Amino acid sequence: MPLQRRLPKRGFTNIFRVDYQEVNISKLASLNSSEITPELLRQRGLARKRNKPIKILGVGEIEKAINVKAHAFSRSAIEKIEKVGGKIEIIGRTASTDKSGEEPPAPSISTEKANDSADVVESGDKETTGEDK
Protein backbone atom coordinates (compact mmCIF):
# COMPACT_ATOMS: atom_id res chain seq x y z
CA MET A 1 0.00 0.00 0.00
CA PRO A 2 1.35 3.49 -0.85
CA LEU A 3 2.74 5.66 1.94
CA GLN A 4 0.10 8.42 1.59
CA ARG A 5 -2.66 5.88 2.26
CA ARG A 6 -0.92 4.46 5.34
CA LEU A 7 -0.47 7.82 7.08
CA PRO A 8 -3.34 9.32 9.11
CA LYS A 9 -5.25 12.25 7.69
CA ARG A 10 -4.48 15.65 9.11
CA GLY A 11 -6.42 18.82 8.63
CA PHE A 12 -7.04 22.35 9.77
CA THR A 13 -8.99 23.25 12.89
CA ASN A 14 -10.03 26.88 13.18
CA ILE A 15 -9.56 27.94 16.80
CA PHE A 16 -11.61 31.12 16.29
CA ARG A 17 -14.77 29.37 15.06
CA VAL A 18 -17.88 30.20 17.05
CA ASP A 19 -20.18 27.23 17.54
CA TYR A 20 -23.77 28.37 18.11
CA GLN A 21 -26.82 26.61 19.51
CA GLU A 22 -29.51 26.96 16.87
CA VAL A 23 -33.12 27.73 17.77
CA ASN A 24 -35.77 27.99 15.05
CA ILE A 25 -38.51 30.62 14.92
CA SER A 26 -41.14 27.88 15.03
CA LYS A 27 -39.89 26.97 18.52
CA LEU A 28 -40.05 30.63 19.61
CA ALA A 29 -43.69 30.83 18.52
CA SER A 30 -44.55 27.90 20.77
CA LEU A 31 -43.19 29.66 23.89
CA ASN A 32 -46.16 32.07 24.15
CA SER A 33 -44.04 34.87 25.59
CA SER A 34 -43.72 38.47 24.39
CA GLU A 35 -40.02 38.73 25.29
CA ILE A 36 -37.59 35.90 24.69
CA THR A 37 -34.13 35.89 26.28
CA PRO A 38 -31.36 33.27 26.40
CA GLU A 39 -32.27 32.58 30.04
CA LEU A 40 -35.85 31.76 29.04
CA LEU A 41 -34.64 29.47 26.23
CA ARG A 42 -32.37 27.61 28.64
CA GLN A 43 -35.12 27.40 31.23
CA ARG A 44 -37.58 25.88 28.74
CA GLY A 45 -34.97 23.41 27.40
CA LEU A 46 -34.54 24.85 23.89
CA ALA A 47 -30.90 25.76 24.54
CA ARG A 48 -29.21 23.28 26.84
CA LYS A 49 -25.56 24.34 26.92
CA ARG A 50 -24.69 27.38 29.02
CA ASN A 51 -21.28 27.97 27.44
CA LYS A 52 -22.49 28.26 23.82
CA PRO A 53 -24.04 31.41 22.34
CA ILE A 54 -27.51 31.19 20.78
CA LYS A 55 -28.39 31.85 17.15
CA ILE A 56 -31.98 32.28 15.96
CA LEU A 57 -32.71 30.68 12.58
CA GLY A 58 -35.61 31.50 10.26
CA VAL A 59 -37.17 28.03 9.92
CA GLY A 60 -40.90 28.19 10.53
CA GLU A 61 -43.46 30.95 10.78
CA ILE A 62 -44.42 33.37 13.52
CA GLU A 63 -47.79 35.10 13.87
CA LYS A 64 -47.40 37.58 16.73
CA ALA A 65 -44.86 40.30 17.49
CA ILE A 66 -42.16 39.27 19.96
CA ASN A 67 -38.96 40.83 21.27
CA VAL A 68 -36.03 38.44 20.93
CA LYS A 69 -32.60 38.78 22.54
CA ALA A 70 -29.89 36.44 21.25
CA HIS A 71 -26.21 36.39 20.30
CA ALA A 72 -26.82 36.06 16.52
CA PHE A 73 -29.67 35.97 13.99
CA SER A 74 -29.97 34.69 10.44
CA ARG A 75 -31.20 37.13 7.78
CA SER A 76 -34.44 35.25 7.28
CA ALA A 77 -35.10 35.26 11.03
CA ILE A 78 -34.59 39.03 11.19
CA GLU A 79 -36.97 39.55 8.26
CA LYS A 80 -39.69 37.32 9.71
CA ILE A 81 -39.54 38.84 13.20
CA GLU A 82 -39.59 42.43 11.93
CA LYS A 83 -42.32 41.64 9.38
CA VAL A 84 -44.82 40.84 12.14
CA GLY A 85 -43.77 43.90 14.18
CA GLY A 86 -41.29 42.28 16.57
CA LYS A 87 -37.88 43.55 17.60
CA ILE A 88 -34.49 41.89 17.76
CA GLU A 89 -31.59 42.69 20.05
CA ILE A 90 -28.14 41.28 19.52
CA ILE A 91 -26.49 40.79 22.87
CA GLY A 92 -22.74 40.67 23.40
CA ARG A 93 -20.81 37.61 24.29
CA THR A 94 -20.51 37.09 28.01
CA ALA A 95 -17.37 36.04 29.86
CA SER A 96 -18.64 32.45 29.98
CA THR A 97 -18.94 32.29 26.17
CA ASP A 98 -15.86 34.37 25.30
CA LYS A 99 -12.55 32.52 25.39
CA SER A 100 -10.50 35.53 26.53
CA GLY A 101 -13.13 36.98 28.85
CA GLU A 102 -12.48 40.51 27.57
CA GLU A 103 -14.45 42.79 25.32
CA PRO A 104 -12.63 43.63 22.09
CA PRO A 105 -11.59 47.28 21.85
CA ALA A 106 -13.77 49.51 19.72
CA PRO A 107 -12.09 50.77 16.54
CA SER A 108 -11.23 54.44 16.67
CA ILE A 109 -10.38 56.80 13.84
CA SER A 110 -8.04 59.66 14.52
CA THR A 111 -9.35 63.06 13.40
CA GLU A 112 -5.89 64.05 12.19
CA LYS A 113 -5.79 61.12 9.78
CA ALA A 114 -9.28 61.97 8.53
CA ASN A 115 -8.24 65.60 7.87
CA ASP A 116 -5.08 64.51 6.03
CA SER A 117 -7.06 62.29 3.68
CA ALA A 118 -9.47 65.18 2.97
CA ASP A 119 -6.50 67.40 1.97
CA VAL A 120 -5.29 64.80 -0.50
CA VAL A 121 -8.71 64.58 -2.14
CA GLU A 122 -8.96 68.36 -2.46
CA SER A 123 -5.54 68.68 -4.07
CA GLY A 124 -6.42 65.93 -6.55
CA ASP A 125 -9.47 67.88 -7.77
CA LYS A 126 -7.38 70.63 -9.43
CA GLU A 127 -7.18 70.38 -13.18
CA THR A 128 -3.82 70.62 -14.89
CA THR A 129 -3.35 72.26 -18.24
CA GLY A 130 -0.74 71.64 -20.87
CA GLU A 131 0.89 75.01 -20.11
CA ASP A 132 2.30 73.80 -16.77
CA LYS A 133 4.41 71.16 -18.44
pLDDT digits (tens, 9 = 90+) for 8-62: 888 888 999 999 999 999 999 888 889 999 999 999 999 999 999 999 999 999 9
Please, what are the domains in the chain? 21-90 (3.100.10.10)
In degrees rounded to 5, what are phi and psi of residue 36? -115, 125
Predicted pLDDT at 10: 85
> Strands across the sheet with 21-24, in order?
21-24, 54-57, 72-73
Structure confidence at residue 97 (pLDDT) = 41
**Band of pLDDT at residue 127, cut at 50, 70 and 90:** low
**Segment 99-114, tens digit of pLDDT:** 444 445 555 555 455 5
- pLDDT at residue 102, rounded to an integer: 46
